[in-house]
């Protein structure tokens, strides 16, 4: 654990997400914060700030909790700019996937990359995320699809996080698509995953995820992988209802998944099922934006009382987007969340989606992960979507 103390003072607008304070965001005006040994120890009016040696004057800027991005595919090699062009000329994501492109082309590039190249590409993305205020990021495997390469992706993700003090939460997504060596035999691949790949990857991951959707893995196949993950200590989360109403929501609820992610195809009964469950809805507005498709029903999920989180889904196919401020802007401008809902979902919502009680809020006892915005109000994150959003990032009480 880091030692030493750091104070922030002259914070014009402090977003605490503290439910004991007023409003969704628990905003404190003219505030100060103290972080000791990486943990927030004091929050209050700047005028009352106790004497502290190391003080950052925020000069009236807004300060928010470090962003928690609960859904990324950060570790991959290559890009798919060619497919992006094809989509803009009229082909659909599913047509490209059915023709053997899509995820499978990134699997080929990722398997072929040296570990050094894969690590440096992943680290570059991680650095840009962190510079834009992300302090915790979930990273999925899923572009390896065999034992050697899935393990390598999880190791690369962990290495990128420790190189820059970015908290990486690893997820095993061996069931991302059926690899060429199992073409036409999804059940055989699921057997192999469950018997061979998952047991060796489980010690490197915290969660297990499956792309459960039309043309990818069925509900029964996804259930099998997620139950096997549970046996190996991995909590389930799920790519659900991205391409169709595939039954993913019901499976996520049945298994008590931490989150159901994407949710682009939702009927009222799916929203009702989520609102009766603990499962967090992780919405990824960068995907619909990049694919030029309608956004998920974020407004309706919020209004139904579902816990909503926002993520980048950073990946080379559907959302080559790295930064949470951009996602907040999309959630407001394209999905119809308020600036308060979007910011809460990008911080506390992300923490809850990852089961991390100690972050996503600025309260005594929480992790000292904070972002000094380059704005006097968090509203500017969406209001001025092309303005540089971040002045300073503080990770466990240290400036990064």
Residues in contact with ligand NIG by CB under 6 A are: 73, 102-103, 106, 211, 239, 242, 287, 313, 315-318
Q: Is 378 within 8 Å of 339 (Cβ atoms)?
A: yes
Residue 287 interacts, among ligand NIG, Fe ion, none and using kind-specific CB cut-offs from 5 to 8 Å, with ligand NIG
CB-based contact 36:85 (threshold 8 Å): no
Q: Is the CB of residue 190 less than 8 Å from the CB of residue 222?
A: no
In whole angstroms, the minimum distance from the beta carbon of 110 to ligand NIG comes to 10
* 211 contact, one of Fe ion, ligand NIG, none, CB 5-8 Å limit per kind: ligand NIG
Distances (CA, A) of 43 to 6, 28, 34: 12, 9, 7
Identify the bridge partners of residue 169 per DSSP, sorted by sequence position: 138
Tell me if residue 115 falls in helix, strand or coil: helix
The interface region with Fe ion, picked from 49-57, 95-103, 104-112, 310-318 by CB under 5 A, is 310-318
- Determine the 3-state secondary structure of 34 from DSSP: strand
- Closest CB 256 distance from ligand NIG, rounded Å: 22
Write the Ramachandran bin of 77: left for phi over 0, alpha for psi from -120 to 50, otherwise beta. Answer: beta
- In the complex with Fe ion, the residue whose CB is nearer, 283 or 351, is 283
Q: Which does 318 bind (CB under 5 to 8 A by kind): Fe ion, ligand NIG, none?
A: ligand NIG
Q: Which phi and psi angles does 210 have, rounded to 5°?
A: -140, 140
Parallel/antiparallel/unpaired status of strands 39-45 and 27-36: antiparallel
- 12/142 with CB nearer ligand NIG: 142
Question: Residue 161 binds which entry of ligand NIG, Fe ion, none, with Cβ cut-offs from 5 to 8 Å by kind?
Answer: none
Q: Which stretch binds Fe ion (CB under 5 A): 129-137, 171-179, 245-253, 306-314?
A: 306-314
Please give the Cα distance from 282 to 350 (Å, whole number).
Answer: 8
Taking residue 104's Cβ as centre, other Cβ atoms within 10 Å add up to 20
For residue 199, the minimal CB distance to Fe ion (Å) is 24
CB 284 to ligand NIG: min, Å: 7
Query: Minimum distance from CB of 74 to Fe ion (Å)?
Result: 11
Q: How many residues make contact with Fe ion (CB under 5 A)?
A: 1
Residue 103 site contact among Fe ion, ligand NIG, none (CB < 5 to 8 Å, cut-off depends on kind)? ligand NIG
Cβ–Cβ < 8 Å for 202, 222: no
Residue 106 touches which of ligand NIG, Fe ion, none (Cβ within 5-8 Å per kind):
ligand NIG
Which one, 103 or 273, has the nearer CB to ligand NIG? 103
Contact between residue 46 and residue 9 where contact means Cβ atoms under 8 Å apart: yes
Residue 313 binds to Fe ion (criterion: CB under 5 A): yes
Q: What are phi and psi of 232, to 5 degrees?
A: -100, 15
Q: How far is the CB of 219 from Fe ion (least distance, A)?
A: 18
Give the nearer residue to ligand NIG in terms of CB position, either 79 or 358.
79
Measure the CA–CA gap between 349 and 360, rounded to whole angstroms: 7
Q: Nearer to Fe ion by C-beta: 64 or 234?
A: 234
Rounded to whole angstroms, what are the CA distances from 170 to 157, 167, 193, 333, 338? 7, 10, 17, 30, 30
In the complex, residue closest to ligand NIG by CB: 317
- Among ligand NIG, Fe ion, none, the one that 396 touches (CB under a kind-dependent 5 to 8 A) is none
The residues binding Fe ion (CB under 5 A) are 313
């Amino acid at each position: 654990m880091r030692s030493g103390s750091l104070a922030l003072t002259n914070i014009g607008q402090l977003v605490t997400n503290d439910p004991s304070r007023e409003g969704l965001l628990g905003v404190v005006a003219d505030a100060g914060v103290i972080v000791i040994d990486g943990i927030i120890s004091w929050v209050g009016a700047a005028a009352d700030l106790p004497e502290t040696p190391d003080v950052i004057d925020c000069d009236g800027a807004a300060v928010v909790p470090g962003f928690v991005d609960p859904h990324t595919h950060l570790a991959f090699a290559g890009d798919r700019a060619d497919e992006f062009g094809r989509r803009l000329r009229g082909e659909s994501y599913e047509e490209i996937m059915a023709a053997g492109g899509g995820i499978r082309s990134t699997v080929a590039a990722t398997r072929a990359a040296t570990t050094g190249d894969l690590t440096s590409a992943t680290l570059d993305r991680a650095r840009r995320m962190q510079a834009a205020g992300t302090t915790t990021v979930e990273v999925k495997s899923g572009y390896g699809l065999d034992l050697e390469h899935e393990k390598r992706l999880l190791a690369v993700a962990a290495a990128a996080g420790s190189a820059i003090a970015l908290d990486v939460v690893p997820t095993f997504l061996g069931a991302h698509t059926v690899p060429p060596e199992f073409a036409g035999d999804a059940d055989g691949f699921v057997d192999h995953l469950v018997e061979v790949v998952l047991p060796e990857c489980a010690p490197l991951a915290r969660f297990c995820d499956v792309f459960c959707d039309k043309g990818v893995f069925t509900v029964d196949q996804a259930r099998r992988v997620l139950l096997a993950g549970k046996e190996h200590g991995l909590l389930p989360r799920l790519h659900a209802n991205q391409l169709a109403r595939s039954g993913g929501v019901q499976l996520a609820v049945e298994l008590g998944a931490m989150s159901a992610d994407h949710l682009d195809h939702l009927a009222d009964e799916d929203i009702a099922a989520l609102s009766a469950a603990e499962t967090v809805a992780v919405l990824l507005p960068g995907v619909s934006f990049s694919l030029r498709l309608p956004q998920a029903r974020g407004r309706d999920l919020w209004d139904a009382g579902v816990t909503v989180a926002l993520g980048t889904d950073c990946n080379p196919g559907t959302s080559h987007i790295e930064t949470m401020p951009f996602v907040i802007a999309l959630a407001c401008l394209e999905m119809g969340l308020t600036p308060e809902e979007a910011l809460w979902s990008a911080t506390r919502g992300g923490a809850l989606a990852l089961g991390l009680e100690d972050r996503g809020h600025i309260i005594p006892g929480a992790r000292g992960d904070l972002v000094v915005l380059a704005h006097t109000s968090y509203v500017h994150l969406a209001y001025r979507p092309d303005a540089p959003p971040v002045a300073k990032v503080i990770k466990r009480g240290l400036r990064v």
